[in-house]
Amino acid sequence: MGLPETIALALGVAMDAFAIALVVGASPYNVGFSPTFRISFHFGFFQFLMPLLGWALGWKLAVFVHLFEHWVVFLLLFWIGAKMIHSGIWGEGNTCSGDPSRKGQLVLLCLATSMDAFALGFSLNLLKVDIWMPSVLIGLVTGALSYAGMRFGRYLGKYSGKWMTALGGFVLCGIGLKVLLEHF
């Protein structure tokens, strides 16, 4: 696989991470450099790591993972999206709001955005492609696009306030539903 194909692959795999970073960037929790760094670093790291894991596990598990990956992505994104909708509409007084760039929510978002990279690792194993260059490029491209998404999201969030959080929640739910519907 050549460099142009690998870059195109990295851009394709990173698009859902960019969309989610844009949504998280518009949330009221995106204050300062720390949330931007956490999201871009962790999204890039997971997108680097998951193809390696998928490649290492080989094609035998690909069919099994493919049976349920769409449900996992749907449930994770829908759950986090619903929390953001609730927070955006009813404010900060509820107990289910929280910074999506921290702890459990960050891990869930990383997993949701990197399931396709995990499956990609299986495919690259089947094609007998060396996994290191694609994994590094996928991680770097995802980190850069996530950073850009967070920065642009912060700009959007300044002008729309808490309603952007609710809108972002609807976007996450929509991405999750899209993933589920595409499978069927």
Mean pLDDT across 73-82: 78
Q: What is the DSSP secondary-structure string of 103-170?
A: HHHHHHHHHHHHHHHHHHHHHHHHTT--SHHHHHHHHHHHHHHHHHHHHHHHHHHHHHTHHHHHHHHH
Give the model's confidence band at 43: pLDDT under 50 very low, under 70 low, under 90 confident, else very high: very high
- pLDDT category of residue 94 using cuts at 50, 70 and 90: very low
Provide the 10 A C-beta neighbour count for residue 9: 20
Domain count, the chain: 1
Residues 8-19, mean pLDDT to the nearest whole number = 86
- Per cent of the chain over pLDDT 70 is 87
Mean pLDDT, the chain, whole residue set: 81
Q: With 90 as the cut, is the pLDDT of residue 6 above it?
A: no
Q: Categorize the per-residue pLDDT at 97 as very low, low, confident or very high, splitting at 50, 70 and 90.
A: low
**pLDDT at position 140:** 96
Range of the domain at 124: 3-183
Segment 45-67 mean pLDDT: 80
